A and B are shown apart, each in its own frame.
Chain A
Amino acid sequence: MKLLEHEAKSQFSKYGIPVPGGVVIRSQEELSEKMNELPEQFVLKAQVEVGGRGKAGGILMAGRSDGVAIAGELFKKEIKGVPVKEILAEERLEIQQEFYLSIAVDRSSKQALILFADAGGVEIEALAKERPDAVRKASLPLLIRDVPAFMLRDLMGKAPKEVGKIINQLYRVFCEKDAILAEINPLVTTPSGVFAADAKLIIDDNALARQGITQNRDLTEREREAERHGFSYVELSGDIGVIGNGAGLTMATLDLIEYYDGRAANFLDVGGGADQERVMHAVRLVAGDPSVKVIVVNLLGGITRCDEVARGVIAAGITQQVIVRLAGTNEAEGKQILAGSGYRMLDSMEQAVKAAVEAVR
């Protein structure tokens, strides 16, 4: 789950990483009330988790005299489609130099990957292409508690000494907060020291509970309902509902729909051991999306009982057409049950997907 900038900064600050002074406001009134906590000139930053926020108009300069009016305008905006609910009002920094610092889970080395660059506020991928010398990296096994001094020296280059401590403290944040990404872009030097001018922290979804986070904000309402049933669900924009078991098979079903020029309305993986109850909930959830015209159920497994699945489909009692492909235990019985209630059951995923695409034409 992505934390907002002000949440990430408050975590970083607890670990001794200097952040600019500021207040979070949720309304214009709140800004008036907290105005005396701010300096004469400050910056208003929309708290939305989208890249390129500044260019999209989410960061505005303000002062004590015009701050409330500018905040009012910012609250009315949508930044790349995301409404602004919170604003971070923060002191302006007198920036001398900018750097980039991030620590991420690296799939390839299976270690923490630390990236440091001599330029900040940039897209790191683009910088790595244009100026490969400016970007330095190191990977560190998580069994190591502190970033070794040689590694800090290699990473920092000519950056001021305080940066070394910040890299190490960010590594501590990364480890203790179960982060998949901790990023400071830019990390800036000013006459009064080094500061994290921006902050990004993404927490591993599988570690939310032990990090004391009860709800994953990144999910939509329907996605959250799906999660309660133990489904993986992603909303898409087409008209063919998809239910599969296993992430790969469900993705392959979506791909096959696209291959036959259809458009999937969703991705729903019911997970293992799809019984009557789970299948019923899955079918109802998908059918609840008004854009869904037909549903493909593609279940394959050793232990999935086809008769249970068939009963679940029927019990859902929905109005849309359901096309089923089932392979597993009690296959013949499942077919019989569905045929008896007028459902279509096909032998391969290709046939089922083709039939669904034809049905919406």
Chain B
Amino acid sequence: MIYGDKHTGVIVQGATGKQGAFHIALMNEYARQVGGKGVVAGVTPGKAGQEIHGVPVYNSIRDALKDYDASAQVIFVPAAAAGDSIMEAASAGISLVVAITEHIPVHDTMRAIEFAKLHDCAVVGPNCPGLLSPGEIKLGIMPVHLSARGHIGVISRSGTLTYEIVDQLTRAGLGQSTIVGIGGDPVIGQTFSDVLARFEDDPQTKAAVIIGEVGGGLEEEGARSTDLPLVAYIAGISAPPEKRMGHAGAIIEGGEGDARSKIARLKAIGVPVASRPSEVPRLIRELV
């Protein structure tokens, strides 16, 4: 596993909102199943003293850290305040922030990520489903029933498409080490390269699947950066230029980042690219 394990204490920011409360319950249900520490505290400014599914709520991360040990944080706060939450976490000494929130203005994201870097804090997301190390820890909103513990690392800019491919891997008997949703925004914290570097150092991970989409060139950058056996799938071969395909980052701009040229570049560096999600397990089997 990478980023965290059973012993990782988790704080949820935006704990009292509908999403935050719902997913605290699911994350802690999983923690109970696997014998993990789970969410130890929630934070919502002005709501100290409340309890959400048995988890105490604090006004600030610093307050929560006086009573509990935690190194990871999951953010569900609304877009306008999410950049602030990332910086609060980094400044309080949290080493991993998972930002689920969608629609954060990109300038806020850039500033928050820059600030987090000054505090050696890694940011996963924003606009992501979080991560899941089967049998160890769930940070975010990924469904757990489709996954199985194993040796394949999965990195994706998408949510449900990840579940689709994870489901197919599991059905083919290929369990996963860690599944990381890095987010659908144009600017994200942890990129394919960052996650692949961690997978390389992870003895559990034998190969990785990168699930990309139109926009930018982070998939190719990641593939070039690693020696790990890789399989890729790129969504958006039918996406028209200059149209945002759901994700803020899924847009072909100025003739850059279209699926065909991405696929060609990946193939040129020797990465097999699945033409449909259902081909991924077969391509992985050919590698390991």
Binds A, one of B3-11, B54-62, B100-108, B172-180: B100-108
- Chain B: CB-nearest residue to A203: B105
- Chain B: CB-nearest residue to A174: B107
**Which residues does chain B contribute within 8 Å of A248, judged by CB atoms?**
156-162, 184, 211, 213, 235, 246-247
Asked if residues A232 and B160 are in contact (CB atoms below 8 Å), the reply is: no
Asked if residues A246 and B160 are in contact (CB atoms below 8 Å), the reply is: yes
A259 to B145, CA, bound (A): 29
- Chain B: CB-nearest residue to A327: B167
Asked if residues A108 and B221 are in contact (CB atoms below 8 Å), the reply is: yes
**Which residues does chain B contribute within 8 Å of A205, judged by CB atoms?**
244, 248
Most buried by A among B106, B239, B259: B106
- Chain B: CB-nearest residue to A264: B238
* 0/1 interface trace, chain B 183-218, chain A, CB 8 Å (1 if under): 010110000000000000000000000010111111
- For A108, give its contact among B79, B218, B244, B275 (CB under 8 Å): B218
A269 to B162, CA, bound (A): 15
B122 interfacial contact with A, CB 8 Å: no
- For B244, give its contact among A107, A232, A264, A300 (CB under 8 Å): A232
Interface residues contributed by chain A, number (CB under 8 Å): 47
Asked if residues A105 and B187 are in contact (CB atoms below 8 Å), the reply is: yes
Asked if residues B107 and A207 are in contact (CB atoms below 8 Å), the reply is: yes
Contacts A125-B254, A249-B160; is A142 near B110 (CB within 8 Å)?
Answer: yes
Contacts A248-B211, A300-B163; is A206 near B103 (CB within 8 Å)?
Answer: yes
**Which residues does chain B contribute within 8 Å of A286, judged by CB atoms?**
none
**Which residues does chain A contribute within 8 Å of B235, judged by CB atoms?**
248, 251-252, 255
CB distance from A249 to the nearest CB of B (A): 4
A149 interfacial contact with B, CB 8 Å: no
A175 interfacial contact with B, CB 8 Å: yes
Interface positions of A from 278 to 312, Cβ below 8 Å from B: 300-303
How many A-B contacts at CB < 8 Å in the complex? 156
Contacts A111-B110, A249-B158; is A267 near B245 (CB within 8 Å)?
Answer: yes
B93 interfacial contact with A, CB 8 Å: no
**Which residues does chain A contribute within 8 Å of B217, judged by CB atoms?**
107-108
A143 interfacial contact with B, CB 8 Å: yes
- For A143, give its contact among B115, B164, B221 (CB under 8 Å): B115
- Chain B: CB-nearest residue to A124: B254
B113 interfacial contact with A, CB 8 Å: yes
**Which residues does chain A contribute within 8 Å of B53, judged by CB atoms?**
none
Most buried by B among A107, A267, A269, A350: A107
**Which residues does chain B contribute within 8 Å of A206, judged by CB atoms?**
79, 103-106, 248
CB distance from B120 to the nearest CB of A (A): 16
Contacts A246-B161, A256-B276; is A251 near B106 (CB within 8 Å)?
Answer: no
- Chain B: CB-nearest residue to A176: B107
B249 interfacial contact with A, CB 8 Å: yes
Asked if residues A247 and B158 are in contact (CB atoms below 8 Å), the reply is: yes
B255 interfacial contact with A, CB 8 Å: yes
A252 to B213, CA, bound (A): 9
A210 interfacial contact with B, CB 8 Å: yes
- For B213, give its contact among A244, A247, A350 (CB under 8 Å): A247
Asked if residues B143 and A236 are in contact (CB atoms below 8 Å), the reply is: no
B277 interfacial contact with A, CB 8 Å: yes
Contacts A246-B160, A256-B276, A301-B160; is A251 near B244 (CB within 8 Å)?
Answer: no
- Chain A: CB-nearest residue to B246: A247
Contacts A143-B115, A248-B161, A249-B160; is A107 near B218 (CB within 8 Å)?
Answer: yes
Contacts A251-B239, A255-B238, A267-B245; is A125 near B105 (CB within 8 Å)?
Answer: no
A185 interfacial contact with B, CB 8 Å: no
A230 to B275, CA, bound (A): 30
A247 to B127, CA, bound (A): 11
B142 interfacial contact with A, CB 8 Å: yes
User: Taking beta carbons and an 8 Å cutoff, which residues of B are in contact with A?
Assistant: 22, 79-80, 103-107, 110-111, 113-115, 141-146, 156-164, 167, 184, 186-187, 211, 213-218, 221, 233, 235-240, 243-250, 254-255, 259, 275-278
User: Taking beta carbons and an 8 Å cutoff, which residues of A are in contact with B?
Assistant: 105, 107-108, 110-112, 125, 141-143, 175, 178, 180, 204-207, 210, 232, 234, 236, 244-252, 254-259, 264, 267, 269, 300-303, 327, 348-350
Listed A/B pairs (20) with beta-carbon separation below 8 Å:
A107-B187, A107-B249, A141-B110, A206-B105, A207-B106, A247-B184, A248-B160, A248-B161, A248-B213, A249-B164, A250-B245, A250-B246, A252-B161, A254-B238, A255-B237, A267-B245, A267-B246, A302-B144, A302-B163, A348-B278
Extra contacts, 19 of them, besides A107-B216, A302-B146 (Cβ < 8 A), are A107-B215, A108-B217, A111-B110, A112-B110, A125-B255, A180-B186, A204-B107, A206-B248, A207-B107, A249-B159, A251-B161, A251-B245, A252-B164, A254-B239, A255-B238, A255-B276, A258-B238, A302-B163, A303-B22
